[in-house]
Amino acid sequence: MVYQSPVGARDLLPLDVAQKRWIEDRLQQVFHRWGYHRIITSTLERMDTLMAGGAIQRSTVIQLQNGDDEDLGLRPELTASIARTAVTRMAGVTYPQRLYYNANIFQRTSELRHNRQQEFYQAGVELLGSGGSLADAEILLLVADCLQALGLSHWYLILGEAEITRSLLKAFPSDLQAKVRNAIAHLDCVTIDTLPLSDELRERARIMLDLRGNPGNVLQKVTSLGLDQPLQAVVDNLKSLVELLERSVNSSTTPREATGMEIILDLSLLQTFDYYTGIVFEVVSQTNGQTRVVGRGGRYDQLLGLYHPKGESIPGIGFALFLEDLQQILLSAQRLPQTTPASNWLIVPETPDAYTAAFAYATKLRDSTHLVRTEMDLGGRDADEIRQYARDRSIAQIAWIKADGVTTIESIRH
């Protein structure tokens, strides 16, 4: 019998891990610089916790059951878990809370016969307890800082606003709103033309279909739709946010080309998770002619209230970056490690009575204030084979140890 990993799962070999850690380490440094602290939540959640936001389809959750017949699921994303943790385990904390995570998630697909992946890795942040454009701007500028730290170029921030999009859809008959929404999300002009809509509503749908592009042009088009005062205020806030982002990027000491902050406003952008209440966004990379979504996020001011014992609402906004997609892009750009880190030393006890002295010498090297990778030769090879092993593994130096502790250092040419 040949034992293999389950369908949809994959193993990460040492080089995969080294590349993944390269990305994670740089993102973590950015999160720390911005004052965010790591949170680790349970991989397992109650199904009612996962479903509370009304955004996750039960069929996409890998479900389990414990001995108490509780319905459990492997988390398909982190925001719901962090929201649940914040209101149940962090009562009395001072807001805002800046939290970040680096974790795996699980998403069931209907295409298992094609060996579609079901386990993914994400890194992201949640900013809890602050609303308004300043918090929105912090999250979006943090995204830009993360991608700059990775050296990612040619990416776009696709920015939408859930409240505007939902309000514009309310003008359509309730039985057609889902179809109009789906057509707009998929740029489906044919469906718009064939739906039983009045001429006025059909023109409104066509305008909504075209609410993508330069922020100034898009905001001018949406204002022409005859907005009520509350919705016009939301549009004005979005305009202020875009202007704040552009001023912040232009005033930065880092060149605009390096930050990569190019904003495309897309008021037809509809996220998978329906708990978003304000801005929503996607981070899209264009590399070597390929377009990849490498991150998503948005504002969710009602979600924490669903888990709060007293139903109190706490504003929140966050994003997730998709590590597998980032790894593929950075790998093609040759920015990631191409080999696993080599050991610095190979310690060789020349005789069995030299074992103690060899372990002592290895311990001294490992106790350095800097990382010194030190391997012990475990026997069974002659001197030439040991040297060949060191060359094959790019080990820089061999320490030949005698029983009395006398050491001979040999540098290895590669």
Q: Are residues 94 and 107 in the same domain?
A: yes
- Above 60 in pLDDT, residue 266? yes
pLDDT of residue 184: 83
- How many domains is the chain built from? 2
SS3 label, residue 149: helix
CA 232/CA 230 separation, integer angstroms:
5
pLDDT of residue 16: 96
pLDDT of residue 254: 56
Q: Are residues 406 and 308 in the same domain?
A: no
- Above 70 in pLDDT, residue 127? yes
Q: Which residue has the higher pLDDT, 250 or 85?
A: 85
CA 331/CA 325 separation, integer angstroms:
10
CA angle 14, 18, 19 (to 5 degrees): 120
Mean pLDDT of 219-223: 88
Q: Are residues 305 and 390 in the same domain?
A: no
Q: Are residues 78 and 124 in the same domain?
A: yes
Which strands sit side by side in the sheet containing 44-46, from one edge to the other? 44-46, 71-74, 63-65
Query: Which range has the worst mean pLDDT, 78-92, 108-122, 310-324?
Result: 108-122
Mean pLDDT of 227-236: 90
The set of residues, in sequence order, having a beta carbon less than 8 Å from that of 122 and lying 6+ positions away, is 77, 78, 101, 102, 103, 104, 105, 320, 321, 322, 323
Mean pLDDT of 279-299: 90
pLDDT of residue 210: 85
CATH number at 363 reads 3.40.50.800
CATH number at 48 reads 3.30.930.10
Mean pLDDT of 97-115: 82
Percentage of residues in the chain having pLDDT higher than 70 = 94
Q: Which two tokens stand for residue 291?
A: 């377009």
Q: Are residues 91 and 30 in the same domain?
A: yes
Omega within 30 of 0 (cis) for the link into 315: no
Element (H, E) at 343: none
Q: Are residues 1 and 83 in the same domain?
A: yes
Does 398 map to a domain? yes
Instruction: Round the CA-based radius of gyration of the chain to a whole number and report it.
Output: 27
CA 147/CA 140 separation, integer angstroms:
11
CA 154/CA 261 separation, integer angstroms:
9
- Above 90 in pLDDT, residue 91? no
Q: Return the closest-CA partner of residue 249 out of 144, 149, 159, 133.
A: 144
Does 27 map to a domain? yes
Mean pLDDT of 77-85: 93
Mean pLDDT of 107-121: 75
pLDDT of residue 194: 93
SS3 label, residue 190: helix
With beta carbons less than 8 A apart as the criterion, state whether 195 and 176 touch: yes
pLDDT of residue 272: 47
CA angle 78, 79, 85 (to 5 degrees): 90
CA 291/CA 155 separation, integer angstroms:
9
Position of tokens 């800046």? 98
Does 19 map to a domain? yes
What confidence tier does 114 reach under pLDDT thresholds 50, 70, 90? Answer: low
Mean pLDDT of 91-112: 87
- Alpha-carbon distance values, 410 to 134, 194, 372 (Å): 59, 79, 17
Mean pLDDT of 114-120: 80
Characterize 126-157 residue by residue with b for buried, 16 or more Cβ atoms within 10 angstroms of its Cβ, and e for exposed: bbbbbbebebbbbbbbbbbbbbbbbebeebbb
What confidence tier does 9 reach under pLDDT thresholds 50, 70, 90? Answer: confident
Does 314 map to a domain? yes
The single-letter DSSP state of residue 285 is: E
- Of 316, 341, 366, the last residue of a domain is 341
Mean pLDDT of 282-310: 90
Does 188 map to a domain? no
**What torsion, rounded to 10 degrees, do the Cα atoms 198, 200, 201, 206 define?**
120
Does 65 map to a domain? yes
**Pairing relationship of beta strands 290-299 and 279-287 according to DSSP bridges:** antiparallel
Does 153 map to a domain? no
- Above 70 in pLDDT, residue 1? no
Q: Are residues 314 and 381 in the same domain?
A: no
Mean pLDDT of 211-226: 88
Domain range enclosing 315: 1-131+301-341
pTM (two decimals): 0.90
User: DSSP string spanning 102-139?
Assistant: EEEEE---S-GGGT---EEEEEEEEEES--SHHHHHHH
- Above 80 in pLDDT, residue 286? yes
Average pLDDT, the chain: 90
Mean pLDDT of 298-316: 91
Element (H, E) at 266: strand 263-266
pLDDT of 250-263, one tens digit each? 776 555 455 567 89
